[in-house]
Structure 1
Amino acid sequence: MKPTSEQLLASISQTGMIPVFNHKELEVAKAVLDAAYTAGIRVFEFTNRQNNALEVFKGLKIYAEKYKDMYLGIGTIFTVQQVKEYLYADADFIVSPALIPEVAKYCQMKGVFWVPGCATVTEVFQAQKLGAVLVKAFPGNLLGVDFIKAVLSVMPGLKIMPTGGVEPTEENLQEWFRAGVTCVGMGSQLIKKDLLQDKKYDELNEKFTQTISIIKNINQKTEKS
């Protein structure tokens, strides 16, 4: 049974972040997943960006079965056919870089948590009409915190996640969370290529842990203010 929106949002809120990752080698993907899980991450997005992404995802999903409370989803999804393939591979949720109505409707029909990429107020509005409970602001580095503030000023109940260019620093994360984001999606800024090349997974684990701690502290300060 697929996790509910409530279950996924609860897990995301624990850390305030979703790692966004892809690699052509399954063993590397396993090591990154291990580093993320031991740091406290429970929602992880693998992305459909390599020719063998589906095969790697299948292996990673089987490997992740040892983590009973880890939700593993797939990103960079553009078509219903891709949704079908990854749901057959037991993906827990679907993320798209764009607002794609047919993908939304299929995920709704299957009861699957779906996160669309949006870059305008119109797209955000349409995404909500199509049933999205979490919207991805993409590309985050181009839209910026002012976009978040503007959208939330007219849609105050919106749950929004910037992805693309989000940095694992206190200064950058503070800007996003003070603007009102629910969580952030973090890829290459967090999971550095040099750490993967040198197999420095302990350092990656520390990076995950530090980032979670920064977000937690920011959120605690925001709640008190």
Structure 2
Amino acid sequence: MHPDDLLAALRGRRILAIVRGNDPDAALDAVLALFASGIDLVEVSLTTAGALDVLERARTALGPYAALGAGTLVTAADARAAARAGAAFAVTPGLTEAVGEAQSLGMPVLAGAVTPTEVASAWTEGATAVKLFPGSLGGPGYLKALRDPFPDIPFVPVGGVDAAAARDFLAVGALAVGVGGPLVGTAASLGGDTAGLAARAAAFRSLAEEFPCPTS
């Protein structure tokens, strides 16, 4: 995936689904259910049990062009393993060594940052977009303040983002939002909740459609 493709996906979808859980089969089912429900920009966290196998099986099922990424990449080894498993993009919790390694492997990076110094560093290091993490720490007001000195940096708040927070973040200029539990629910850990997941996916898609796509 080219960095421009990731930006286009974030801009067009506005919702990045985050799958994490303790059951590999349930996590795979959750990934496939998200794509089937129209949430077709998905990150599988490496904290998920059997995450690399989940990525490999999802890639096989979804094909080579699906916007499927790997998250919680901390080490260079994480980045290499994610690339081998079929991740198209990388997501990190902070400015870890995985940022540079993922880029060297051709994966665009959504790099985690929270302070202005970290945001500037992430952008200087070539992040495609900045994952504002944890988004709940400062909330939409903090993102609005950050956008004053960094108007051209695309931000994706992640962490503690439910439907209400997603709406507020998008309203103050987030390129997209990363949503885990409030969207996926228990589907990736306990399994079986695909009907509920589909309903929540529809609600988040409707929410995203309330906001025009930003230009940066």
Does the TM-score normalized on the shorter chain lie above 0.5? yes
Counterparts in 2 of 1:112 and 1:196: CA distance versus 1, 3 Å: closer
| Between structures 1 and 2, the one with greater helix share | 1
Higher RCO (CA-CA < 8 Å; seq separation 6+): 2
Provide Cα deviations, 1:92-130, integer angstroms capped at 9, x if missing partner: 111110112x32222232221111110100000011110
In 2: Cα distance, 1:107 partner to 1:83 partner: 5
8 Å CA contact retained: 2:113, 2:132: yes
Tell me which amino acid in the other structure corresponds to 1:14.
G
SS at match of 1:217: coil
What is the CA-CA distance between 1:82 and the residue it aligns to? 0.9
8 Å CA contact retained: 1:58, 1:89: yes
In 1: Cα distance, 2:38 partner to 2:6 partner: 14
Q: TM-score, normalised by structure 1?
A: 0.87
What is the CA-CA distance between 1:152 and the residue it aligns to? 0.6
SS at match of 1:117: strand
8 Å CA contact retained: 2:32, 2:58: no
1:199 to 192, 197, 203: 192
Fraction of identical pairs, as percent: 25
In 2: Cα distance, 1:132 partner to 1:156 partner: 15
8 Å CA contact retained: 2:29, 2:188: no
What is the CA-CA distance between 1:156 and the residue it aligns to? 0.6
1:58 to 37, 56, 59: 56
8 Å CA contact retained: 1:96, 1:116: yes
Tell me which amino acid in the other structure corresponds to 1:126.
S
Q: Does 1:108 align with 2:103?
A: yes
Q: TM-score, normalised by structure 2?
A: 0.90
Return structure 1 stretches of 4+ with deviation > 3 angstroms: 194-198
Tell me which amino acid in the other structure corresponds to 1:21.
V
Provide Cα deviations, 1:106-160, integer angstroms capped at 9, x if missing partner: 2232221111110100000011110112000001111211221111101111100
- In structure 1, the partner of 2:123 is 128
- In structure 1, the partner of 2:212 is 219
Aligned length: 215
Q: Which runs of 5+ in 1 are unaligned?
A: none
Please tell me whether Structure 1 or Structure 2 has the larger radius of gyration of its CA atoms: 1
Q: Which runs of 5+ in 2 are unaligned?
A: none
Output aligned runs, 1:176-195, within 5 Å. 176-193=169-186
Tell me which amino acid in the other structure corresponds to 1:36.
L
